[in-house]
Amino acid sequence: MNPSQAAPGSQASLREANRLRVLEALRDQGAMTQVEIAGFTGLSPATVSNMVKELDTSGAVELEPSIRNGRRAVLVSLATGSTLIAGIAFGDRDVRVALGTSPRDIIGRQRMPLPADHAADEGMDRASRLLLDLVEKAGKTMADVRAVGVGIPAPVDSVSGQVGSESILPGWRGVAVAAEMQGRIQAPVAVDNTSNLAALGELRCGVLQGVQHGVYIKLSYGVGAGLILDGDLFRGAAGTAGEIGHLTIDENGPVCRCGNRGCLETYIGARGLLDALASSHGPLSLRDVITRALDGDPGCRRVLEDAGRHLGVAVAGLVNLLNPEVIVLGGQLSRVGSIILSPMRASLERCAIPSAAASVVLRESELEMDADVVGALVSAAALLPAGAGVLATAVSIS
């Protein structure tokens, strides 16, 4: 297997963070010169100049000649005529919303916690309020939001458009999310599984760009995968492809929430990890486990290393079956890096066909925790009619 390459995400993430800082400064302060933007954001004049050029090219900002202190200057402002799209990603414990002029140009984002096993109405109401707040902060109206992509951490039946599992996200079972959200937002809505959207985000804007066959694995409270085949997202016959968390790795193992025994999720999902630590560490959150593992706690490191070994067994099956070029790890647990990655690699090398294992590269997510939100923006952009500016031509999905 090819060694895990140092993810270029650090430089790319810094670049995206700088772009966001410029956009947020313009949103909060109104039109400014590049010198004023540099002073407000703390970025260097050269960095601001590069960011403004990129944002101008993408249509996210407008440039207008002006006079400042008796000298010619160029005022930079948010593009008033830009079509807006929104991305909404629901998690087991939160909802994140982003507003942008394209998947690469996010002008605002917000997050709100959600209770475990929340009802669909509660989640959608909170997401709608967050989106309205972002739109108002941008000086726009909801009529400017032309399309919305929504991610759900559960199987989404592509035929009925409903959440298709009684045990995974039970408060959403049978809900036609696209229709419900469209009624709240009054804009076209596309719905997909969050792992699929994360894979799509990385494919169009992240580490999977140019990859023909790849897999994105989301490690969080649960485990899911997004599959890229022949350069496009593969959803399967009914939209439920990629449910790696419910691959059986021990038919005599613990009972999973899906009703089967020995699913991968029972070994690497949050519930299994926290149960394994309960007797020695007491009640912890998933964030606690990650923080303590990074700080060197031997118990937390051990359960995450065990999780990595189990993950490697399941991923070896994917490698044997699909022979991908790249496997990307994302989600909260990916923050622990080599603690999970090293034992995962060892299991993969042991269990996969040698030629398949030798050709796959393991990478960390370039978009990090924003991958599913960016993917939601990509799916929203694909809903725009032809001729709706740069958005309609910048991205496309099957």
Looking at the chain, the whole-number percentage of residues with pLDDT higher than 90 is 60
Domains in the chain with CATH codes: 16-78 (1.10.10.10), 84-198+372-394 (3.30.420.40), 207-365 (3.30.420.40)
The answer to whether the beta carbons of residues 228 and 214 sit under 8 Å apart is yes
Percent of the chain with pLDDT over 70: 92
Question: Residue 61 pairs with which residues in a beta bridge?
Answer: 78
Q: Up-side HSE of residue 108: CA atoms within 13 Å toward CB?
A: 21
What pLDDT does residue 137 have? 84
pLDDT at 397 over 50: no
The larger pLDDT score, comparing residue 180 to residue 392, is at 180
Amino acid occupying residue 270:
A
Question: Looking at 80-94, 269-283, 341-355, which range is the least confident one?
Answer: 80-94
pTM for this prediction? 0.79
What does the pLDDT read at residue 58? Answer: 76
Instruction: Look at residue 7 in the predicted model and tell me its pLDDT.
Output: 45
348-393 pLDDT tens trace:
999 999 999 999 999 999 888 899 999 999 999 999 875 454 333 3
Across the range 66-95, mean pLDDT stands at: 83
CA distances from 309 to 135, 226, 306, 326, 339 (A): 44, 20, 5, 19, 10
State residue 257's pLDDT score: 84
Please tell me the least confidently modeled range out of 42-51, 170-179, 195-204, 274-283: 170-179
pLDDT in tens, 197-214: 999 999 999 999 999 999
The per-residue pLDDT of the chain, averaged, comes to 87
- pLDDT digits over 301-359, tens only? 999 999 999 999 999 999 999 999 999 999 999 999 999 999 999 999 999 999 999 99
